[in-house]
C-alpha cells in the first residue's frame, strides 16, 4: 500500500483546527511516533467508516482513529461539548483532511457517543474501554461531568457494571467529579474493604471522595455493631409472676408465659453466637436479607415460644434498622 498525501498529513499530526500542533498540546496524539506509520494505513477509499458516525450532508469534521477507522462528525457538536474555558480552541469545518487521533476506534466511538449522547449499537462495553474513553475526553477539553449525567446512554453503560465493579466505577466517578454516579456506586463499592484501597486509587479519587467513602464505611460499621450489641429482651418477669416454668408441662405454644434463668441463658447464647459470627466477619455492604440469614437460628434452639418470638422480633428490628442505615456517600 502506497502512502497518499493525505496519509502524510494525518500521520504528521494535524491539529483539530487544522493548524500545526501547539507546543503546549503535548499528548500522545501530538507525537507522530505513537501514530500508525504511513505504510500501515490503507488508502482513503479503503478505510472503514464507523457505522455509528457515517458521512452525511451535515458532517463537516472527520476523525481517523489509530486503527484507521473514519468518524464523520459535526464541528458544532464537538464545540458544544467542549468546556467553556476551552473556547479559544475550536473545531473548524474541514472534510478534506481526516484528523488523526491516538485513540483506537472502540474508545473513540465511546467518546463520541458520550459527546452525542447516543447509544452504541454494539451493546455492552467493557468497563476498561468506558474508563479509557471518559479519561480521554479531558485531552480534548471536554469535561466528563458535563456529559456523563443520569439518563444519558454513557451513564447507563457505566451503571451496568455496578453489580460487579462498583469500586472501579466509584474511582472513575470520583476522579471526574461525577457526583450522581459516585453516590450510586458508593453503595456497592463498600464491598471493597477500605484497607485494600491502593495508593494509586486513593490519589485518583482525590481526598474528598476518599474521605466520604471512608466515613461511610466507618459509619456503617459502627451502626451495625451497635445494633448487634442489643439482644432480644427476656421475659423472666412474666415467668416469675405466673410461677410457671415455660419448659414445664404446659405446651409453650399454648401458654407462653416465660422461663427461668436457663431459658434466659439459652436466649442470650443464641444471640451471642450469631452476632459474634457476623461481627467477626463484619461486612458493611451486607444486604438486609443476608444479615437476616446470618442472624436467624433454627426454632428448635428454644423450648419456649416467647423466647423464640423475642429472638425473631429482634432480628427483624435489626434488619429494619440496617435497611434504614445510610448506605451511600
Ligand atoms: Zn422463654
Where are the domains positioned within the chain?
Answer: 5-116, 230-323
**Has this prediction a pTM greater than 0.75?**
yes
Q: How far apart are CA 113 and CA 303, in angstroms?
A: 64
Using the mean position of ligand 1's atoms as its centre, give its distance from the Cα of residue 244 in Å.
11
Using the mean position of ligand 1's atoms as its centre, give its distance from the Cα of residue 149 in Å.
55
Using the mean position of ligand 1's atoms as its centre, give its distance from the Cα of residue 293 in Å.
22
Contact 166, 135 (CB under 8 A): no
Using the mean position of ligand 1's atoms as its centre, give its distance from the Cα of residue 236 in Å.
8
Task: Report strand pairing: 61-64 vs 69-73.
Answer: antiparallel
Q: How far apart are CA 73 and CA 192, in angstroms?
A: 40
| C-alpha grid cell, residue 231 | 439482644
Cα R_g (the chain), whole angstroms: 31
Q: Which residues make beta-bridge pairs with 100?
A: 64
Q: Which residues contact 32 (CB under 8 A, 6 or more apart)?
A: 11, 12, 13
DSSP assignment, residue 22?
P
Sheet holding 48-49, edge to edge: 48-49, 69-73, 61-64, 94-100
Using the mean position of ligand 1's atoms as its centre, give its distance from the Cα of residue 226 in Å.
24
Q: Please, what sign has the CA dihedral across residues 195, 197, 200, 205?
A: negative
Q: Give residue 221's pLDDT.
A: 94
Q: Give residue 42's pLDDT.
A: 57
Q: Give residue 9's pLDDT.
A: 33
Using the mean position of ligand 1's atoms as its centre, give its distance from the Cα of residue 263 in Å.
6
Classified as helix, coil or strand, 302 is coil
Using the mean position of ligand 1's atoms as its centre, give its distance from the Cα of residue 319 in Å.
22
End-to-end CA distance of the chain: 56
Q: Tell me which residues of the chain have a pLDDT lower than 50.
A: 1-39, 237-256
> E-strand spans in 65-214?
69-73, 94-100
| C-alpha grid cell, residue 304 | 419456649
Using the mean position of ligand 1's atoms as its centre, give its distance from the Cα of residue 235 in Å.
6
Residues around ion ligand 1, judged by CB within 5 A, are 246, 259, 263, 304, 306-307
Using the mean position of ligand 1's atoms as its centre, give its distance from the Cα of residue 300 in Å.
13
* CB neighbour class for 88 (10 Å; exposed up to 12, middle 13-18, buried from 19): exposed
CA distances from 58 to 121, 154, 201, 318 (A): 21, 24, 42, 61
Q: Give residue 122's pLDDT.
A: 78
Q: Which residues contact 292 (CB under 8 A, 6 or more apart)?
A: 315, 316, 319
261-280 and 305-323 helices, crossing angle to 10°: 30
Contact 236, 258 (CB under 8 A): yes
Amino acid at each position: 500500500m502506497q502512502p497518499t498525501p493525505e496519509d502524510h498529513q494525518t500521520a504528521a499530526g494535524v491539529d483539530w483546527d487544522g493548524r500545526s500542533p501547539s507546543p503546549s498540546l503535548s499528548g500522545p496524539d501530538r507525537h507522530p511516533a505513537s501514530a500508525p506509520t504511513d505504510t500501515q494505513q490503507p488508502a482513503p477509499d479503503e478505510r472503514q467508516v464507523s457505522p455509528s458516525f457515517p458521512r452525511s450532508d451535515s458532517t463537516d469534521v472527520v476523525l481517523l482513529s489509530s486503527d484507521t477507522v473514519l468518524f464523520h462528525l459535526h464541528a458544532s457538536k464537538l464545540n458544544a461539548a467542549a468546556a467553556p474555558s476551552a473556547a479559544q480552541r475550536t473545531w473548524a469545518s474541514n472534510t478534506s483532511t481526516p484528523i488523526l487521533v491516538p485513540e483506537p476506534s472502540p474508545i473513540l466511538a465511546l467518546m463520541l457517543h458520550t459527546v452525542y449522547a447516543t447509544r452504541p449499537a454494539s451493546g455492552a462495553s467493557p468497563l476498561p474501554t468506558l474508563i479509557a474513553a471518559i479519561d480521554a475526553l479531558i485531552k480534548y477539553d471536554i469535561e466528563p461531568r458535563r456529559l456523563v449525567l443520569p439518563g444519558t446512554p454513557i451513564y447507563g453503560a457505566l451503571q451496568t457494571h455496578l453489580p460487579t465493579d462498583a469500586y472501579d466505577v466509584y474511582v472513575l466517578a470520583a476522579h471526574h467529579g461525577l457526583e450522581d454516579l459516585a453516590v450510586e456506586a458508593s453503595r456497592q463499592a463498600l464491598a471493597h474493604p477500605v484497607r485494600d484501597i491502593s495508593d494509586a486509587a486513593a490519589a485518583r479519587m482525590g481526598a474528598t471522595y476518599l474521605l466520604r467513602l471512608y466515613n461511610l464505611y466507618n459509619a456503617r460499621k459502627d451502626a451495625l455493631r451497635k445494633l448487634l450489641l442489643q439482644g432480644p429482651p427476656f421475659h423472666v418477669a412474666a415467668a416469675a409472676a405466673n410461677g410457671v416454668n415455660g419448659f414445664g408441662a404446659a405446651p409453650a405454644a399454648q401458654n407462653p408465659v416465660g422461663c427461668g434463668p436457663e431459658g434466659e441463658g439459652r436466649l442470650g447464647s443464641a444471640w451471642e453466637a450469631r452476632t459474634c459470627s457476623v461481627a467477626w466477619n463484619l461486612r458493611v455492604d451486607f444486604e438486609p436479607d443476608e444479615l437476616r440469614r446470618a442472624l436467624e437460628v433454627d426454632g428448635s434452639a428454644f423450648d419456649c415460644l416467647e423466647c423464640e418470638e423475642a429472638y425473631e422480633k429482634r432480628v427483624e428490628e435489626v434488619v429494619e434498622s440496617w435497611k434504614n442505615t445510610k448506605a451511600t456517600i
